[in-house]
Amino acid sequence: MRVAAGSLLRRIGTCVHVGVLDGEAVREPARGPTPGSVRSPLVGHVYVHDGLDQGCEAEVKPRLRGKATLIRSGDDCIIGFEREEDARRVRAVLDKRLGRCGLTLHPDTTRLVPCGRPPAGQQRGQGPAPFDFVGCTCSWARSRTGRWGRGCQTRRASLRRAKQALDAGCRRHRHQPGQVQHAALRQRWQGPENSFGVRGNVRRLRRLVEATKRAGDTWRCRRSPRQRLHGERCSDLLRPFPLPRPRITVRIWGV
């Protein structure tokens, strides 16, 4: 109905009819793309746009008493409401709206979360419960001046996966020259920096840099059983190829 690009339609048709090799048996999905396929988010984006984005703008927002904001990334979304009664009304009818497009809400991750600003005299850690969205944990946090502000930090699981990926990259390139190692590390670091470089998340990025430094030193020391690199020797090798510094690429709050 909406997609007019021939190449995109061919890719969608290929992914719908492709099978899954499970051992020696090949099974084909009854409907929709194969779970875990790289094209599954693409097909989901087309359906969710029609079922959620357009429905929220055309049908939901005009019937609310307060303001509402929809933020979506792939098949994950957050709908912010000014009034709690509006949030409960939309939650009650959202299943029916998505059911028209053959979509369902995840029963474990779909929930109502209070996000109001905590009182000025409330202590740290006593604000509304945090929630996870697109690899980040969003919560209220105190600023340097003592005021409450929105905080966004990398999820522990996402940070752990990023550390494992950087460690595997250092291990894979440990026998190559220093210039090649540095270029590969910079390329691999670009992904976590773009994903986690959000305002207020510098501490988690620093932890990632320190973990990368330890991984690089460890695998350089294991290049040969005869020569060990420690302390000043590792620092001398890293001086021409410095590690990346934590950098904020997205400033969400205060825009």
Q: What is the pLDDT of residues 182-236, one digit of tens each?
A: 788 877 877 787 778 887 788 888 888 888 888 877 777 777 666 666 656 666 6
Cβ atoms within 10 Å of 117's Cβ, excluding its own: 13
Give the model confidence (pLDDT) of 6-21 as tens digits.
787 787 777 666 667 7
Count CB atoms within 10 A of the CB of residue 91.
Answer: 15
- Output the CA torsion sign for 88, 92, 96, 102: positive
Task: Give the residue from 193, 198, 196, 202 showing the smallest Cα distance to 253.
Answer: 198
State the burial class of residue 180 (Cβ atoms within 10 Å of its Cβ: 0-12, 13-18, 19+): exposed
- Cα gap 237→33, rounded to integer Å: 48
- Which of 39-48, 123-132, 170-179, 205-214 is predicted with the least confidence, judged by mean pLDDT? 123-132
Q: 246: which DSSP letter? A: P
137 SS3 class: strand
Within 8 A by CB and 6+ apart from 205, the residues are 154, 192, 193, 196, 197, 246, 247
Nearest to 105 by CA among 90, 118, 119: 90
Please, which residues have CB within 8 angstroms of residue 131's CB and are 6 or more apart in sequence? 113, 137, 138, 139
Looking at the predicted structure, is the pLDDT value of residue 253 above 60?
no
Beta pairing, strands 68-73 & 25-27? unpaired
How far apart CA 248 and CA 199 sit, in angstroms, is 6
Instruction: Please give the full DSSP string across 70-106, using - where no structure is assigned.
Output: EEEETTEEEEEESSHHHHHHHHHHHHHHHHTTT----
Sign of the alpha-carbon torsion through 72, 77, 82, 88? positive
How many whole angstroms separate alpha carbon 11 and alpha carbon 34? 13
Distance CA 165, CA 218 (A): 15
Question: With bands split at pLDDT 50, 70 and 90, how would you rate the model's confidence at 113?
Answer: confident
**What are the pLDDT digits (tens) for 68-103?**
888 888 778 889 898 999 999 998 888 888 888 777
Q: How large is the average pLDDT for residues 33-56? A: 74
Of residues 148 and 64, the one with the higher pLDDT is 64
> Strand 131-133's sheet: what is its strand order?
131-133, 136-142, 148-154
pLDDT beyond 80 at 43: no
- The CA distance from 96 to 101, in Å, is 9
* pLDDT number for residue 255: 45
Q: Kindly state the average pLDDT of the residues 25-31.
A: 70
Mean pLDDT of the region 129-151: 78
Lowest mean pLDDT among 40-54, 109-123, 150-164, 240-254: 240-254
What does the alpha-carbon distance between residue 217 and residue 158 come to, in Å, rounded to a whole number?
23
Can you state the angle between helices 156-172 and 202-221, rounded to 10 degrees?
A: 30
